[in-house]
Structures are given as C-alpha cells and as structure tokens.
Homo-oligomer: A and B are copies of this chain.
Amino acid sequence: MRLDPLNSTFGALADPTRRAILARLLAGEASVKELAKPFDISLQAISKHLKVLERAGLIIRGREAQSRPCRIRPTALKDIDEWLMRYRRLWDERFDRLEMYLQGLQTREKRHGSKK
C-alpha cells in the first residue's frame, strides 16, 4: 500500500524547530551551520530535523559534500493548501464574498458584451 505523502508532511510540521527552519528558508537557501545558528541545539540534532524535512519533501539539499545547502520545496506545502481547500468554506466568508463579487463582474461584462 502506498502511504499518503500528507502523513509525513503533517508529521514533519508537528515540530516547532522544523517549522522555524522552514521559515528561515523562506529568506533563501542556507547551510546546516547557518540553520543551526539561532537554535540552542547541536548540529547533529539539526541534521536529524533536516532529514525529516527532506523525507517529507519539504526541503531539497544540494549535492556539495561539505555544506549541502538546503532550500524549501513548495510542492509539499501546496499539497496541504489543496487539502485545506474543502475546509476553507467553514471560515472564509471573505473568500465567498470575493467569489460573488467576481461572478457579479463577469455577469456584468457578459451583459455589456451582448449589447454590442
């Protein structure tokens, strides 16, 4: 049985250090050393977190043996965004209003079109 990749994505994000690493990577790619700097934990511990993030498809690591710079991989986060889609209607009235507004615009544009 193929496991749903969302299992490992959500699992990886359940840790605050791993979420902080991702947030740092938003500013651009970084080496293990650079990523370890703001945390009071060993390079080994950071490496473990990076392995979890890599396995979950949340980051990609370069091939350079020494630094192996990490960068964010958006696809896995996008999958969460898509998973959330069906729940969004539970809270996002703004989203509904925007959609209605755009539908209204389209209807008006069509009417203009048919008058020509």
B72 contacts A77, CB within 8 Å?
Answer: no
| Alpha-carbon distance between A16 and B86 when the two chains are bound, in angstroms | 16
CB-CB contacts below 8 Å: A11-30 with B: 11, 13-16, 19, 22-23, 26
Q: How large is the interface on A (under 10, 10 to 19, 20 to 34, 35 or more residues)?
A: 20 to 34
A84 contacts B74, CB within 8 Å?
Answer: no
> A4-15 toward B: CB 8 Å interface, digit per residue (1/0)?
101110110111
With contact pairs A6-B19, A10-B14, A16-B7 given, residues A77 and B87 touching in the complex (Cβ less than 8 Å)? yes
The answer to the question of A81 belonging to the interface, with a C-beta cut-off of 8 Å to chain B, is: yes
The residue in chain B whose Cβ has the minimal distance to the Cβ of A102 is: B98
CB-CB contacts below 8 Å: A21-49 with B: 22-23, 26
